[in-house]
Amino acid sequence: MNAAIVGVGATDFSKNSGRSELQLAAEAVRAALADAGLEPSDVDGLVSFTMDTNAEIAVARELGIPELTFFSRVHYGGGAACATVQQAAMAVETGAAKVVVCYRAFNERSGHRFGQVQTAAAVNIDNSWSYPMGLGTPAAMVAMFARRYMHEYGATSEDFGRIAVIDRKHAATNPHAWFHNRPITLDDHQASRWIAEPLRLLDCCQETDGGVALVVTSAERARELPQKPAHINAATQGSGVDQFTMTSYYRDDLTRLPEMGVVARGLWEKSGIGPSDVDVAVLYDHFTPFVLVQLEELGFCGRGEAKDFVASGALELDGDLPLNPHGGQLGEAYLHGMNGIAEAVRQVRGTAVNQIADVEHVLVTAGTGVPTSGLVLGAS
Partner 1 sequence: MIDIEKEAARVAEQGESAPRLARDPVNLPMINNWLEAIGDQHPGYTEVAPPAMVQVWTMGGLHGQRALDDPLGAMMKILDEAGFTSVVATNSDQTYHRYLKIGEHVSVTSTLEDVTGPKKTALGEGWFVTTRSTWYVGDEAVAEMRFRVLKFRPAEKQEPKPEPRQAQAIRPSINRDTEYFWEGCRNQELRIQRCGGCGLLRHPPGPMCPECGATKPKYLVSDGRGVVYSYVVHHHPQVPGKQTPFVIALVELDEGVRMLGELDGEPSIGLPVEVVFTKVDDELTMPSWRPRADR
Question: Which of the residues are catalytic?
Answer: 284, 334
Of 36-44, 143-151, 223-231, 354-362: span binding partner 1 (CB under 8 A): 143-151
Number of residues lying near partner 1 (CB under 8 A): 36
Helix axes 258-271, 289-297, angle to 10 degrees: 50
Binding flags for partner 1, 243-262, as an x/- string (CB under 8 A):
----x-xx---x--------
Q: Answer yes or no whether residue 128 interacts with partner 1 by CB under 8 A.
A: yes
156 lies in the site for partner 1, by CB under 8 A: no
In the list 67, 193, 318, 358, the residue contacting partner 1 (rule: CB under 8 A) is 193
Helix (H, G, I), strand (E, B) or coil at 83: helix
Binding part of the chain for partner 1, among 100-108, 130-138, 261-269, 330-338 by CB under 8 A, reads 130-138
50 forms part of the interface with partner 1 (CB under 8 A): no
Q: Is 191 in the site for partner 1 (CB under 8 A)?
A: no
Helical (H) or strand (E) element with 48: strand 45-49
Nearer to partner 1, 145 or 309 (CB): 145
Ramachandran category for residue 376: left, alpha or beta (phi over 0 → left; psi -120 to 50 → alpha): beta
Of 136, 184, 137, 187, nearest in space to 164 by CA: 184
Residue 127 is a binding residue for partner 1 (CB under 8 A): yes
CB-CB contact of 334 with 2 (8 Å):
no
Spatial contact of 146 and 196, defined as CB atoms under 8 Å apart? no
Residue 357 near partner 1 by CB under 8 A: no
The enclosing H or E element of 30 equals: helix 21-36
Of 75, 98, 112, 148, the one binding partner 1 (CB under 8 A) is: 148
Binder among 67, 134, 318, 380 for partner 1 (CB under 8 A): 134
Within 52-137, where are the H helices? Answer: 56-63, 81-94
The least distance separating partner 1 from the CB of residue 129, rounded to whole angstroms, comes to 5
Nearest by Cα to 8 from 23, 24, 30, 39: 30
**Nearer CB in complex with partner 1: 251/303:** 251
C-alpha to C-alpha distance for 380 and 376, rounded to whole angstroms: 11
Number of residues that make up the chain: 380
Question: Is residue 125 part of the contact set for partner 1 (CB under 8 A)?
Answer: yes
Using only the alpha carbons of the chain, give its radius of gyration. 19
CA geometry: angle 187, 189, 190, nearest 5 deg = 65
- Strands (E) in 56-145, as ranges, are 70-74, 99-107
Q: 252 or 318: whose CB is closer to partner 1?
A: 252
Instruction: Determine if 230 is a binding residue for partner 1 (CB under 8 A).
Output: no
Among 21-29, 146-154, 206-214, 270-278, which window interacts with partner 1 (CB under 8 A)?
Answer: 146-154
Residue ranges in contact with partner 1 by CB under 8 A:
115-117, 119, 122-137, 140, 143-145, 147-148, 151, 193-197, 247, 249-250, 254
